[in-house]
Amino acid sequence: MCDGHPRFLGEVAHIQSLSPFGPRFGPVGGRDVVENLIVLCPSCHRLIDSDVASYSVERLVPWQRVQSAALVGGGHE
């Protein structure tokens, strides 16, 4: 909440980096497609990009799928 109004504070993060020097760069490189993007708070965005060993592509993809399904389906009753 900010000034009594709900606010969304998120950043769109790449699961596989667009840059060959970025975190989790894959053989085909990251792309700006929904399957390669996840919304995170700024703190979590920094965390996953600074700790690639703990936050691998294999770990992040299921999170992204759950997030996408919730966004498409509304994510609430």
pLDDT, tens only, 12-46: 999 999 888 999 998 766 788 888 999 999 999 99
Retrieve residue 57's tokens. 């592509």
Cα 63 from chain centroid (whole Å): 8
* pTM for this predicted structure: 0.78
SS3 63: helix
Residue 75 confidence (pLDDT) above 70: no
Coil vs helix vs strand at 66: helix
Query: What is the overall mean pLDDT for the chain?
Result: 87
